[in-house]
Structure 1
Amino acid sequence: MRTFLGALVALSLAGCAAVPASKTVEVPSVVSPQIAAELLKIGPVVAPPPTEKLYAPLAEREPYAGVQVRRDVRYGTDARNLLDVFTPDKPQAGQPVLVFVHGGAFMRGERRTGDSPFYDNIMLWAVRQGMVGVNMTYRLAPAHPWPAAQQDIQSALKWVRENIAASGGNPQRIILMGHSAGAAHVAQYVAHPQFHVVPGSGLAGAVLLSGLFDPSTAESNPPLQAYFGKDAAQYPAQSAVPGLVAAKVPLLLAYAELDPPDFHRQSEQLNTALCKAGKCPGLYKLIGHSHMSEVYSINSADKTVTNLMKQLVDRVR
């Protein structure tokens, strides 16, 4: 199965001709039967606490073997402008860099909370794959509406470009990854050149997991309005879809089978627009996974998501 999946992803990342227009590829998961049953019970909702209970026992705990962690590095002036840097104990020069942007419905979220292993798990996976990991927090709505998060991503990437070589990272090989609201923020950054740290975005790739990409077609709700505002007339200009179609950044686009329906629709809308422009990235539906399990499973024996990510990483090395 892994060989087949790797070949499938490699083909789709290579270009539109490899994936039929707008096709959604269902990726079989390796979720354990016990966890799969519990995820079905939780259902298609965003439910961090019960999902974390399922995955926390599978995650590494500090101290992390073979990994150095530098926490609370300031990249801007706001109290939330902080990042953590993960490197091997003996870093080698020129390694790709994975920058992760957490979710939280635009109004909350942390790169790490208390003794939770999340989202250190994503950083540990990056280091185990020969990368440098950077985990960032950013300003939140409603106090900081659009485009505050994009401005913070710009500032964080500026810090990475100027400083990451000292940790063994290659500033020309940055992959920006976002989940949920974080995926929306990553998409907005890529799509709107006014936020780019350098012309062309400064990215070697972007990973968009279960994001909302067009506020004009997304379900209206208080968190969405808190970030994008209540004036729907502004939403088309804030949409990431046209800019993502125009961008030249390689994308990995995926959502979970047990995501709430709007995440399905938004991913499919973006994929359709990209394919119409001859830029099919391949859209991956993670069978058996939920909104939170897709990120909590990273760096565990469940490689549903990381098999996809590794193909993009290998492409930009």
Structure 2
Amino acid sequence: MTTATSPRQGTGSRDARRSRSSRPPGAAREERAGWLLTLPFLLLFGIFTAWPVIQSVFFSVTDITNRDLRTPFQVNFVAFEQYAKAFGDPVFRQAALNTAYFVLVGVPLTMTVALAAAVALNTGITRFRSVYRLGFYTPVITSIVAVAVVWRFLLHPDSGLVNTVLGWVGIDGPNWLGSTTWAMPSLIAMAVWRNFGTAMIIFLAGLQSVPQQLHEAAAIDGANAWQRFRNVTVPILRPTILFVSVTTAIGYLQFFEEPFVMTQGGPLNSTISASMYTYQQFSFGNYGYAAALSYLIFVVIAIVTALQFRFLSEKED
């Protein structure tokens, strides 16, 4: 018994055969060559990225520790118990507050300093402009560990340059990194100094794309320099501001090296960050708990990024 083929099916099969026959000679060979060339990347991505991510998700819903590495599939499934544990952990709550403080103060300050430097380089500074750009950007390409060590010497309470200069004007400088009051502001100051160079370069590129005719027209209408900057420059820079805000916030939400090198999270956990506390839990062998903390940080980063896009992106009329 034969099965009748509908006209539509016959037409589709003929079109498929026609499309395959109409492919240029060697197209199949080029396609196979393309897959062959991407195979090393796919293998490396699968082994070193995709599989660790899948494994960390599995860890975050189990009670796996360093004692269970020999039998990773015999651990207990605890669902979201590790995540609930994080909300009841006083040290993690302190680390989360410290991270929020670092981000809420550090991101606006970094962007303000970067935008001010970009405006100065774009309009005010004409001589040795490239030298200033290089000088402002040099801390970005310097090792964060080297920068942190230098700042530790600068902020030393007895022999540091900062307190020495303050002593010249009769001010007794505090123990910057040993005080619960001044330790976090010191880390923020160091982070701003090191990271504003990247934002400055991006802002400078955005400023150079602002049409000069708009400033001239606003000046003819009687707008002063501040009014031209607020009503002409800032709206055009809005996509740039969004990009700098998102990238800076993502980096600051993961800040780790600064407290790890300069304060070890002290004094009294006043500078410990969420990333540093996650690292500590991993080094203690609490792999399931550390994985859960890392995904909580990921969720916070996603929420903060979404809010920035919501409030800083351009609105369509």
Q: TM-score range by the shorter chain?
A: under 0.3
Higher strand share: 1
Bigger Rg, which one:
2
Higher helix share: 2
TM-score norm. by structure 2 comes to 0.27
